[in-house]
Structure 1
């Protein structure tokens, strides 16, 4: 029921220009995730010894695996965005093709759901990595203070 309500509102209130802008924002977000992914991977690999000494290596390995899984989804999502942006023409070509326009907007909604799911999962992984690193850095600092 919620999806139908959302779809109705979306179809009624979003113009082709807004859909185009949304698609560009999604592409920009994916670009950022790819750069951030490299940072997170380096953060974990550069601190392997710290994570080993804190007995968090297994947890870090699981996070790296989840991070890699997210990274592998990006090319598929990126391709879907390119195809989606190219298909936007159906809304602006001046030809009244209500079935094609409805199908396009339905695909847009499904793409939005897919991207929101991806972003939620990625954010959870990122938060877990930062929490793990924060805990490890704090523990290392406590050990350093205790040894002085």
Structure 2
């Protein structure tokens, strides 16, 4: 299976507890994530997540995903089937370097031939969007 990946990392001067509090408040994502909004769902193994995705240069669309993995204060991972020969794994990971200092990785893995083609075509816009998401999360968590 072919794969491609986009990831942006940002250093945040906040505890993993504070960052997780922001990430796990799904209905509050609009405060820091302008590209994945109207988020609803349940963070639980096999839980579902729904959101409106509006990446630059692409039409807005409603996303339905399934929580693939999660660990409080560390990660939230969900998967989405995007059509024939294309699925995506979307994630936010928190690595606490020391109390009050974390690295947050915000990214996606595109699976399948169509996923790789989608990645190649939209990589710059997705990287910029994920960078902005990370920076907005940093500002909110540090504020």
| TM-score normalized by the length of structure 2 | 0.29
Give the number of the structure whose alpha-carbon radius of gyration is greater: 1
Q: If each structure's helix is expressed as a fraction of its own residues, which one has the higher value?
A: 1
